[in-house]
Amino acid sequence: MTAQPALGFGLGLRTDHYEDILASRPNIDWFEALTENYLVPGGKPLHYLDRIRAQFPMVLHGVSLSIGSHDALDREYLKALKQLAQRLEPAWVSDHLCWTGVAGRNLHDLFPLPYTEEAVEHVAARVREVQDFLGRQILLENVSTYVTFRQSEMSEWEFLSEICARADCLILLDINNIYVSAYNHGFDALDFLNGVPAARVRQTHIIDTHDAPVIDPVWALYEEALRRFGKVATMIERDDHIPPLAELVTELDQARRIAARTLATRAAA
């Protein structure tokens, strides 16, 4: 496994903020760019991406890998992703542990998988294929789920951990998704945190509701994650109802304060 870069506290890169980021040099350590927004060569998005990349570290986050699908991996997508990664030199590349379509159709949603040995083997083989092609490890993010499969043979965290072990890939922990899934399926969110291998956790998302500020139980769970995983890269994610950049920077400062306090206690313990 590669050494863990200490990226610090980041935000999702959103079109609405391009100019503000360049003009104000905000207190943000890094940005997460949505892969799919930058796959078309030329144009305004790449122009801004390059300019912002010149000033900030970045990671790439995708929604189209469909690593759990039975369709063949999309070679065109992978080629474009590889090119983008060569251009951007992101600290890492991530996508979701899910499937997004079938029979060549993209359904534009992140669907859950049955947690079975068969699915572990299937996904792990595909992750290895992707990593070989890209020439780098990828991070898989846990999605929020609203259904479970009767066929499941293990917990979600065992499923994720087993895939990571077999494919030697890494983890993007979405704290909000753990909270939502724990609520929906009646498991203890701490069991999830305790059940994944700490050495593979590279990044967290601390909100994924996509349209509202972070809620208190999610901050509390983030604190638990810090206790277990230490100084892991943190990102505030917001997709809809994008507030002004300054508002997100304030929210990020709250994450910084929680992390400073929690990590100090952890070091003293």
The position carrying tokens 């609405």 is 16
Select 46 or 205, whichever has its Cβ closest to Fe ion.
205
Q: Which residue is at the shortest CB distance from Fe ion?
A: 205
Given the complex with Fe ion, which of 202 and 205 has the nearer CB atom?
205
- Nearest-approach distance from CB 19 to Fe ion, in angstroms: 25
Q: In angstroms, give the least distance from the CB of 180 to Fe ion.
A: 11
Measured from the CB atom, the residue of 10 and 46 that comes closer to Fe ion is: 10
- Shortest distance (Å) from residue 208 CB to Fe ion: 4
Q: Using CA atoms, how far apart are residues 43 and 34, in angstroms rounded to an integer?
A: 16
């208190």: which residue's tokens?
216
| Least CB distance to Fe ion at residue 3 (A) | 24
Other CB atoms closer than 10 Å to residue 148's CB: what's the count?
14
Q: What share of the chain is helix, strand, coil (3-state, %, to 5)?
A: 50, 15, 35
Closest separation in Å from C-beta 232 to Fe ion: 14
Strands 201-205, 233-236: pairing is: parallel
Residues within the interface to Fe ion (CB under 5 A): 174, 205, 208
What one-letter code names the amino acid at 83? Q
Pick 150 or 241: Cβ nearer Fe ion: 241
How many CA atoms lie within 13 Å of 200's alpha carbon, on the beta-carbon side?
26
Cβ neighbours around 243 below 10 Å, total: 13
Q: Which is nearer to Fe ion, 117 or 239 (CB)?
A: 239
Distances (CA, A) of 199 to 12, 145, 147, 256: 24, 25, 29, 21
Beta carbon of residue 117, minimum distance to Fe ion (angstroms, whole number) = 26
| The residue to which tokens 């090119």 are assigned | 83
* Residue nearer to Fe ion on the CB measure, 46 or 234: 234
